[in-house]
Structure 1
Amino acid sequence: MSLQSKLQDIVIAEKDSYFLWIPVLFGIGIITYFKIPFEPDIKISILLSALLLVGVFIYRKTTYLLWLLIISLIISCGFLSANLRTVLVKAPVMKKETGIRKIKGTIESISSRTTGKRFVLTEPEIEGLTKENLPKKVRVNINKNDSGAAIGDRIAILANLLPLPRPVIPGGYDFPRHAYYQQIGAIGYSVSDVKIIYSPENISFSASLENLRKSIKENIIKSSDSKNGNIAVALLVGEKGGIDRKTLEDIRVSGIAHILAISGMHLSLVAAIFFFSGRFIFALSKKLALNHNIKKWAAFVAIIGSFIYLLISGSPISAQRAFIMTSLILIAIVIDRLATPMRSVAIAALIILIFTPESILTPSFQMSFAAVFALISLYEMAKPFFKYYSEFGIFKKMFIYLFGVIFSSAVAGIATAPFAMYHFNNFAPYGIVTNLIVVPLTSLFVMPFGVLTLLLMPFGLEQIGLIPMIFGIDIIVKTASYISSLPQPVGAIGQIADITIAMLTIGGVIFLFLKTKIRYVGILVMISGIFFSLDSKIPNIIIGEDAKLIAVKTSPDNLAFSSKVHERYSREQWQKRYAIENPITFAQTEGDIIKCDSTRCHYKYENTLASFIKHPIAFEEDCENADIIINLTYIKKSCKNKKLIINKQDIRKQGTNVIQYGDGTFKVHNVSSLNKGRAWQNN
């Protein structure tokens, strides 16, 4: 048999998986849009998609060319989707700090913080600014009395507004991009109590929903004597801001942070509770059970119940995915069709990507879909095993349930681990063990009582469900606290290279989506991706955006920082990105690597001398002797025949600078150079 014939046989054998590749190709188009270093013209994106569509029509009878055109068209549509979304949400942003000014706005959302609340205000009025220069929305931390302000209220405060903070390291978390798609043009903090100008008589559905969520949160906190009531709020309403820092850190370090997100597990559990409870209630009536298909009625109840929970939870991406997938399965029950789980998940992914293409960049999207695709695909492989042992006695059924919990926890953990490590630069070695305790407890105890809490709340009887729910949460928190106290509860790994996560993803998709032996090519792709490994080679010098924090390489695996006080967030992010577990200060360095006086610091490493000039008096001498000049004064200077000089004004304009040198060459990267020209940086 020829190679062409073998390929044709494989293509035919894999026809059931064709649809699964649509969201994958669509997603490749979206990622391409976000990775290119310039902002494409929307007209060109539309023209390209239109030409490919015409090509598909013209060459519809030419097999190989048709397939190539269809693949290109889907990728192009993904690119166009992201480009169009960027154009549609464009809104002004603040360029400079306002200083303390009177600000008016309508509250769109309220979230809790450990030290107060956070308001997102729409239709802002900012003293001294014209309407043309106003952001569409601003986010303000409320540090004073909020006066009981609710969603939809028009308020006035004194506040200082700031431009959106840039990434603290080139390639780091891009908050301006995140804020751009939420149309937030400034952030700030209040210095006065909130004054309510008026409360509207008729508020929108979204405002009513937010107020309902706020009411549920307040009822839970009021009815709970435990500080872990805030975790119940996170599980039921999706609001994590009230959880104390230590508890949050213990949960993160122990590898169970996913339980705090309203995930597919939570929504699927809610749907299952409504389905089986509804079916049980309907079955209590002999007349209904004998004369009607109560299974279909229960499916309707589950769809409605899970949709209400989706709204109450704040509709995060993972819950949207689960709702779409669950609804498709329940609709299949109603219309007497056999649901295809993998296709349902693919439809869910495609719908989310069409309407919010930027979500593909979030850990929530990536980890949610990685886990569910892996669970469904690998369960299909293990199905004969589960089916065989489930036909035996009660003890073997209990064993098979326990094995199923271990199996699902392990699969979900392995599937999501690369994305967790990519985004958070660490891993939790005890995570699988912790999940074996926490996931069954959450599934079988905490969440059922959580649903009961919501159902009884309108009657003032929420404590019936809340008390046992809090009891289960207390066990989870104590487990997390114990695990986090063990030796090495979290391991720093540095930044995984983009090519690595891309190859792991593509390899995983090939292995999970295909059914023939060619699927094992996916394993080879994943193994190849691991060889690219980390992208965390420690640079020689890092200079923070305002030059208050500097880090220098003192050994192949460590950095010394100029301060342990300034720019704590930046310092923590640099440590995570480069897997620095035991950082030191300039004063703690050994030998002659760093020498400082009142006018300068000299840093010598790999036969290269860098001078951090703090006073202009040191400039002339160091121009002669140093290879690199970092001018930290406000007086802009230049040196003749100098390999590299960076002035403080350049740093403030460019953002964090990263310098790498060796073999007589210097490489300088900064935040602005990586994002220059994109809509979220220049609108």
Structure 2
Amino acid sequence: MNGLKRGLIWGDMVLLRQRGHLFPWAPVCLAIGIGSYFVLSVEPDALVYAAFGVLGSICAAAAMRWPGGWAALAWAVVLAATGFGLAGLRAHQAAAPVLDWRYYGAIEGRVVALDRSASDAIRVTLDRVMLERVAPARRPDRVRVSLHGPPAELKPGQRIMTTGHLSPPQGPVEPGGFDFRRHAWFQGLGAVGYTRNPVLTIAPARAGQEGLGIFALRMEASRRVREILPGDVGGFAAAVTTGDRSGVGQEALNALRASNLAHLLAISGLHMGLLAGFVFAVLRVSLSLVPSVALRISVKKVAAIGALAAAAVYLALSGGNVATERAFIMVAVVLLAVLVDRRAFSLRAVAMAALIVLCLRPQAMMGPGFQMSFAATTALIAFFGWLRDADLPKAPGWAKPVLGVLMSSAIAGLATAPVGAAHFNTLSHYGLIANLVSVPLMGVLVIPAAVVALCLAPLGLEAIGLTPMGWGLAWILGVARTVSDLEGSQGYVAGPGPTVLPMMALGMLWLMLWQGRARLAGVLPVVAAFAIWSQAQRPDVLVADTGGLVGVMTNEGRALSKPRGAGFVAQNWLENDGDGADQGNAALRWPGAAGKVRVMTAGTAEIIHVIGKTGAAQVSSCTESQVVIASVPLRLDGPCDVFDSKRLLRTGSLAITDKGITTARQAAGQRLWNTRAAPKIQYAKAQ
């Protein structure tokens, strides 16, 4: 008993020593609760939410009744319970009709978003949707359609019609993979599809349409930018000014990704910080040059207000997506710290920004954008804070800017590399070099020129700013293409298990946030995470949810059953394997021309892949040691396990290992976004 009492006293003293440094842990605790909601395999019911509410209330009461070191842990439980409730609330608020069948027919709606798909096709998002012979209660609120037909001039608010295919948002391409259904659920997308037919205008865009004024302004600004700066340079300029990436070609995108410069396309913390910093510096210097003003008011605070206003305009002009909102909140917290005479760049400021983002959009925590943004920001502030307090020799004045750029790029790259590798399975070997010769140009030329163009746009003189902006962006694109063409510029890594990133994040946060020598304990989970990652095992066999593609792991890498078709699925499988081959080369690994291949599962199993009705006619029976995969409905005599197209609609994609067969539906569980019935096919008479 005395030992327990001494332990409690010791723990209380340890936590009391952390006072003044505990606030940065608040978003960590909130994120733990949010993550707990998303990892559940079954949607929690009212009783679970009530239990979390009661637990949080008890802990809050205990913390207020007995303040002290242990109260910090009670508040941590309160925050975790709050995060769980926020995630559930947001998921239920996002509920909207989702198409539960495959539809072909007339599609009509209002244009509310434009972007570009992975296949380099223009992609349009429609609201106020009309589908032929579909009751209003079953119609999705929003659908997204890729346009593979004749080119069409689309404008915000324009009402269009076409004939095309729609289907429910698809599940993971493999069990445990990225679940697009969850992503679409929070975006309000009830169906996705494509059309190869012309797009007809039913009603032109009207001025002042509800919620589309800013979108129309963005698209007009994007059009004007691309008119002055043609090609990929204009598309790049439109992306960093209005958030419209539809003008950037696939070749340029691939080069930017391979050189680790794709982050320059997204309006994120870098762009928002550079713009706010440029406006802040210009206003502060300009006002300081006027003695009558500088002696009467706080020039620094006026400059902070002006920079905040400029950042707000940039947020509105960019469309206000999640990444830009996150960047604006971070910049706003920093500038508000200036207004109240607090240290602008501190872990408290990062924590406050993270809390606001997580409260507004708890689902953002699951995406790479949130993770990479806050990983880079937290690592930079923690490192430079340590550097400021450390007793190190001072660098010469001329060397400080150079060292600052070098260290910033290196620290941000190291912090985000594991997250990027986990989500995208690639590492850019020369990304640091590409960033060192590109990022400074964003600060000294591209962003200042964009501000000048924005200021001159009302006079029709935006070309004065856009022209030098184009020079800078052309240089960056040239760097991206040069670096991406270097031999060995890109490396590939296999996807980690679900515990790797959380372990790594908690270890690094402990290392950066905890005070005292005990912070070094954070190294242990990071090392353990890398060790687990290095031992990651990929499934022996993967099966697409249509049954049209099978991938078998061989000594040379994954062998694919066909060289074309289901390209998105094939690309994701190979990327998750850490394999840089394309589908055609992976198909050359397939053992034999027939549809049979022997692989090890629980024992020696024979996978029979049946494609089309012709292939189905050649298979009439099977044995217990065989697994049959078919892209068409199939009935066989025999005790084998058959996954035909009908069954795969219910199960989703498959992973076969020595432990048996796992379906995507089993791995995803029963959640709000995937509880719909298996899709059926409905054909509507084309108009």
For the criterion TM > 0.5, the same-fold answer is: yes
Deviation at 1:196, TM superposition (A): 3.5
| Aligned residue among 644, 647, 650 for 2:647 | 650
- Correspondence 1:232 to 2:229: no
Distance 1:22 1:337 in 2: 19
Equivalent in the alignment of 1:157 = 162
| Aligned residue among 61, 75, 96 for 2:65 | 61
Question: Given residue 410 of structure 1, which amino acid in structure 2 is its aligned partner?
Answer: A
Between 1:357-366 and 1:543-552, the stretch displaced more is: 543-552
- Correspondence 1:16 to 2:20: yes
| Length-normalised TM-score, structure 2 | 0.90
Deviations 1:316-337 (A, max 9, x none): 4343233223223322333344
Distance 2:514 2:502 in 1: 18
Deviation at 1:669, TM superposition (A): 1.3
Work out the number of aligned pairs and report it: 663
Equivalent in the alignment of 2:502 = 502
Q: CA 1:647–1:321 in structure 2 vs 1: closer, same or farther (change >3 Å)?
A: closer
Alpha carbons 1:163, 1:187 under 8 Å: kept: yes
Q: CA 1:586–1:14 in structure 2 vs 1: closer, same or farther (change >3 Å)?
A: closer
Q: CA 1:617–1:314 in structure 2 vs 1: closer, same or farther (change >3 Å)?
A: closer
> Following superposition of structure 1 onto structure 2, how do residues 272-283 of structure 1 map, counting pairs within 5 Å?
272-283=277-288
Distance 1:273 1:514 in 2: 34
Structure 2: tracts of 5 or more residues without a match: 677-687
Deviation at 1:388, TM superposition (A): 6.1
Deviation at 1:352, TM superposition (A): 0.9
Structure 1: tracts of 5 or more residues without a match: 391-395
Equivalent in the alignment of 1:520 = 520
Distance 1:59 1:254 in 2: 50
Distance 1:672 1:538 in 2: 18
Equivalent in the alignment of 2:608 = 612
Describe the SS at the equivalent of 1:40. Answer: coil
Equivalent in the alignment of 2:108 = 104
Distance 1:622 1:586 in 2: 28
> Following superposition of structure 1 onto structure 2, how do residues 316-395 of structure 1 map, counting pairs within 5 Å?
316-339=321-344, 341-383=346-388, 389=394
> Following superposition of structure 1 onto structure 2, how do residues 107-126 of structure 1 map, counting pairs within 5 Å?
107-112=111-116, 117-126=122-131
Equivalent in the alignment of 2:297 = 292
Distance 2:149 2:597 in 1: 45
Alpha carbons 1:537, 1:578 under 8 Å: kept: no
> Following superposition of structure 1 onto structure 2, how do residues 592-671 of structure 1 map, counting pairs within 5 Å?
594-597=591-594, 600-604=595-599, 608-612=604-608, 614=610, 615=615, 619=619, 622-623=622-623, 626-630=625-629, 634-637=633-636, 639-640=638-639, 642=640, 644-661=641-658, 666-671=659-664
Deviation at 1:621, TM superposition (A): 6.0
Distance 2:264 2:495 in 1: 24
| Length-normalised TM-score, structure 1 | 0.91
> Following superposition of structure 1 onto structure 2, how do residues 550-565 of structure 1 map, counting pairs within 5 Å?
550-555=550-555, 558-565=557-564
Question: Given residue 610 of structure 1, which amino acid in structure 2 is its aligned partner?
Answer: E
Deviation at 1:230, TM superposition (A): 0.9
Describe the SS at the equivalent of 1:128. Answer: coil
Distance 2:241 2:72 in 1: 45
Alpha carbons 1:10, 1:516 under 8 Å: kept: no
Alpha carbons 1:26, 1:78 under 8 Å: kept: yes
Distance 2:128 2:469 in 1: 40
- Correspondence 1:489 to 2:470: no
Question: Given residue 194 of structure 2, which amino acid in structure 1 is its aligned partner?
Answer: Y
Deviation at 1:95, TM superposition (A): 1.3
Alpha carbons 2:540, 2:599 under 8 Å: kept: no
Distance 2:581 2:232 in 1: 33
Equivalent in the alignment of 1:676 = 669
Q: CA 1:132–1:617 in structure 2 vs 1: closer, same or farther (change >3 Å)?
A: closer
Deviation at 1:227, TM superposition (A): 3.1
Deviations 1:297-353 (A, max 9, x none): 111111101111112122243432332232233223333444462111111111111
Describe the SS at the equivalent of 1:15. Answer: coil
Q: CA 1:340–1:474 in structure 2 vs 1: closer, same or farther (change >3 Å)?
A: closer
Deviation at 1:6, TM superposition (A): 5.3
Deviation at 1:58, TM superposition (A): 5.0
Question: Given residue 292 of structure 2, which amino acid in structure 1 is its aligned partner?
Answer: K
Distance 1:118 1:596 in 2: 37
Alpha carbons 1:226, 1:470 under 8 Å: kept: no
Deviations 1:470-525 (A, max 9, x none): 11111111111111111211111110122221111001101111221111111122
Question: Given residue 489 of structure 2, which amino acid in structure 1 is its aligned partner?
Answer: P
- Correspondence 1:548 to 2:548: yes
Equivalent in the alignment of 1:457 = 457
Alpha carbons 1:389, 1:400 under 8 Å: kept: no
Q: CA 1:299–1:247 in structure 2 vs 1: closer, same or farther (change >3 Å)?
A: same
Higher relative contact order (Cα pairs below 8 Å, separated by 6+ residues): 2
Distance 1:633 1:604 in 2: 23
Equivalent in the alignment of 2:437 = 437
Alpha carbons 1:602, 1:610 under 8 Å: kept: yes
RMSD: 2.7
Distance 1:613 1:334 in 2: 66
Deviation at 1:116, TM superposition (A): 5.3
Describe the SS at the equivalent of 1:291. Answer: coil
Equivalent in the alignment of 1:538 = 538
Deviation at 1:290, TM superposition (A): 2.6
Deviation at 1:646, TM superposition (A): 3.5
Q: CA 1:297–1:145 in structure 2 vs 1: closer, same or farther (change >3 Å)?
A: farther
Between 1:16-25 and 1:334-343, the stretch displaced more is: 334-343
Question: Given residue 372 of structure 2, which amino acid in structure 1 is its aligned partner?
Answer: M
Alpha carbons 2:112, 2:127 under 8 Å: kept: yes
Deviation at 1:89, TM superposition (A): 1.1
Describe the SS at the equivalent of 2:377. Answer: helix
Equivalent in the alignment of 1:222 = 227
- Correspondence 1:39 to 2:32: no
Distance 2:484 2:146 in 1: 30
Identity in percent: 27
Deviation at 1:287, TM superposition (A): 2.2
Alpha carbons 2:495, 2:536 under 8 Å: kept: yes
Question: Given residue 368 of structure 1, which amino acid in structure 2 is its aligned partner?
Answer: S
- Correspondence 1:197 to 2:203: yes
Deviation at 1:219, TM superposition (A): 1.0
Distance 1:147 1:139 in 2: 16
Alpha carbons 2:166, 2:192 under 8 Å: kept: yes
Deviation at 1:387, TM superposition (A): 9.1
Distance 1:604 1:283 in 2: 75
